[in-house]
Structure formats: structure tokens, C-alpha cells
């Protein structure tokens, strides 16, 4: 967990260190950098190729397994293959038509759309059960950094809209102090690293990530 005085070197280490909860604990895909690249960079790459992925889901089932184990999230009894298929349905229905317009939205519109899409994602992934909000919000956090999602802790006893409002207010107060430079894009091939680096340098995802490390 970071604080406002956490050294940049320590933050970089948190960003690059693999999760001990996945595999042998040394797989770079399970690091924060790895997860961001698996989810966001995979979609950004697909957007450059007509959203084609050789007949496979845009987000592989293994990526979902890594995320859920690394972040200790529940799939609510759904098998990874089925969850990947449901996520693909959501992406193609809700994100693909909007993908290239998300950065153009106003600040308020981005927050409103994030709330709407979180509910749509949870409806498709977990049939709208509130117990799925933690996993849905974590997926959306890495999948769509253009919009302000705030991962809901699994143990939190609060509806997602209230959690979103609370985090938004707290982040606004802390934003001027969250000035650490974005982490290194160290995972993936050169194109994936370029997508990751560019996204980290624009928008507010990195600040939201720093903020979430403190909650």
C-alpha cells in the first residue's frame, strides 16, 4: 500500500512485482503492469485490426484467471471459458462502438458512462448479482482505463455507485499530490508496451491506480 510519501522506487516495485497468488509467484503477467497490458493493450491492439482475433475472445480466459487469482476475486462459480465469452459479448456490444470516442467525453460524461457500463458489465458477466460488482469493477479498471472505474473491494459493504462517488470525491482532493511519474511499461512486445506507455501518460488512470493502492 502506498502513502503520499512513498518513494517512487517503491511504487515502481509495486507496479512491476508479480502477484504471489498466481502460479509460482514470478509470472510478470500477474503484476499490475502485466494485468494492465493483458486487458487494455489487448483491446487497443484489436481496435487497430478491426476487432478481429482469429476467432478467439478478445480477452483470453487465462487473463481472467490470472486477474481473479492475483487480486483474489471470485468468479461467482462461473468457469473461465464462460466468463471470457460473456466478457467478449459485453466488449463487442458496449465498448467496441464507443472505443475511439471515449477520450473525447467530458469529465462528467465519463463518470456517468462508467457507472452505466459497470452495471451493464455486471449484468452480462454475473447476471446483475451485487456480489459480482467487485470482480466486474476490477475487470473494467484494467480493461477500459479511459473511464474512471474504481475497483470495489470484495469485503466492502457498500453499493458500487456509492463507492464510486466516495472515491471520486477523495481522489479530487488528493489528485494534486499524486504526482509520481507513471510506471515503466515493461511487459509485452514492443507494440503492447507502446500502447501501455501512451495510455499511462494520458488521462488519469495512473493517478487512480496510485489512489487505489492507498485504500
Q: List pLDDT tens digits, range 107-126.
A: 999 999 999 999 999 999 99
CA 53, 55, 58: angle at the middle one, nearest 5? 45
Look up the pTM and report it: 0.94
In this prediction, residues 195-202 reach a mean pLDDT of 96
Number of structural domains found in the chain: 1
Q: In this structure, is residue 44 part of a structural domain? A: yes
Does residue 54 surpass a pLDDT of 90?
A: no
Q: In this structure, is residue 156 part of a structural domain? A: yes
Q: In this structure, is residue 101 part of a structural domain? A: yes
Q: In this structure, is residue 3 part of a structural domain? A: no
Does residue 3 surpass a pLDDT of 60?
A: no
Q: In this structure, is residue 2 part of a structural domain? A: no
DSSP the chain: ---TT--HHHHHHHHHSPPTTSTTS--GGGSHHHHHIIIIIHHHHHHTTTT--TTS-SS-HHHHHHHHHHTT---TT--HHHHHHHHHHHIIIIITTTGGGGGGS-HHHHHHHHHHHHHHHHHHHHTT-GGGHHHHHHHHHHH-TTS---PPPTT--S-HHHHHHHHHHHHHHHGGG--PPPPP--SS-HHHHHHHHHHHTSSSHHHHHHHHTT-
107: domain range?
A: 8-212
Q: In this structure, is residue 203 part of a structural domain? A: yes
Q: What is the pLDDT of residue 38?
A: 98
The per-residue pLDDT of the chain, averaged, comes to: 94
Q: In this structure, is residue 154 part of a structural domain? A: yes
Q: In this structure, is residue 1 part of a structural domain? A: no
Q: What is the pLDDT of residue 1?
A: 45
Amino acid at each position: 500500500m502506498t502513502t503520499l510519501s512513498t518513494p517512487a522506487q517503491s511504487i515502481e516495485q509495486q507496479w512491476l512485482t508479480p502477484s504471489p497468488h498466481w502460479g509460482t509467484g514470478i509470472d510478470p503477467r500477474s503484476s499490475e503492469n502485466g494485468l494492465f497490458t493483458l486487458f487494455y493493450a489487448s483491446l487497443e491492439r484489436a481496435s487497430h485490426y478491426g476487432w478481429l482475433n482469429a476467432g478467439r475472445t478478445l480477452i483470453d480466459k487465462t487473463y481472467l484467471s490470472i486477474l481473479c487469482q492475483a487480486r483474489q476475486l471470485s468468479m461467482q462459480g462461473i468457469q473461465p471459458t464462460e466468463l471470457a465469452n460473456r466478457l467478449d459479448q459485453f466488449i463487442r456490444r458496449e465498448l467496441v462502438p464507443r472505443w475511439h470516442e471515449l477520450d473525447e467525453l467530458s469529465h462528467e460524461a465519463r463518470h456517468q458512462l462508467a457507472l452505466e457500463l459497470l452495471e451493464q458489465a455486471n449484468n452480462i458477466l454475473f447476471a446483475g448479482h451485487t456480489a459480482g460488482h467487485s470482480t466486474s469493477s476490477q475487470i473494467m479498471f484494467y480493461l477500459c482505463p479511459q473511464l474512471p472505474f474504481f475497483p470495489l473491494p470484495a469485503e466492502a459493504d457498500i453499493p458500487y455507485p456509492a463507492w464510486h462517488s466516495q472515491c471520486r470525491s477523495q481522489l479530487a482532493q488528493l489528485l494534486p499530490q499524486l504526482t509520481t511519474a507513471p510506471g515503466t511499461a515493461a511487459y509485452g512486445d514492443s507494440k503492447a508496451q507502446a500502447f501501455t506507455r501512451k495510455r499511462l501518460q494520458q488521462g488519469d488512470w495512473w493517478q487512480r491506480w496510485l489512489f487505489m493502492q492507498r485504500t
